A and B are shown apart, each in its own frame.
Chain A
Amino acid sequence: GAVVSQHPSRVICKSGTSVKIECRSLDFQATTMFWYRQFPKQSLMLMATSNEGSKATYEQGVEKDKFLINHASLTLSTLTVTSAHPEDSSFYICSATGAYNEQFFGPGTRLTVL
């Protein structure tokens, strides 16, 4: 099956720093990728839709200036959490759309902001 990777898998940073998370589709091209956030004991919440070569579409309540998304190629999308704060600590997951509209998820990035 299709494979999606994420890097880093875990990051711990100080409050106020910026963190970049990469999402790559390894064996297929993904015009569209999605970014989610999952807090403990909760389901995945869609943050934004990342479209190759154009601006991302953000869900209501998600600050586009805080969560910068860049989808520069058909296999790479990046999410940068700018000036991270403890409340941004979460499990961030990306996904890419397969040939039959199924979603292939990356393994996730666990962000802890001290």
Chain B
Amino acid sequence: RKEVEQDPGPFNVPEGATVAFNCTYSNSASQSFFWYRQDCRKEPKLLMSVYSSGNEDGRFTAQLNRASQYISLLIRDSKLSDSATYLCVVILYNQGGKLIFGQGTELSVKP
């Protein structure tokens, strides 16, 4: 089983749609969680951190469920510019702060 698993993609949605991505992690010692977006042939860019209480940034909402070892990202009112690959990232402090990336979920927003 992979340490971090994400929904397989691609997700093809129309503009204005709401889309949700899921991510599960297997190591209960994981302590920090992030969502990154990566555009084609570019480096990943931090989208938002994920907190146990949940957090929102404009159209983006991230949630963490430690009991179920589950992370989610909700995008409301999708824009064409949201088209990218979204990466779930987990930090393992019991392994020296090692980062584990999910395989990424590709989102394509169509007009």
Contact = CB atoms under 8 A, between A and B. Distances in A.
A103 B34 contact: yes
Nearest to A103: B99
A43 B101 contact: yes
Given A101-B32, A101-B91, A34 B45 contact: no
Interface string A87-114: 0000101010100111111111010000
Interface string B91-103: 1000011111111
A75 interface: no
Nearest to A102: B46
B55 interface: no
B43 A102 contact: no
Interface in A57-109: 57, 91, 93, 95, 97, 100-108
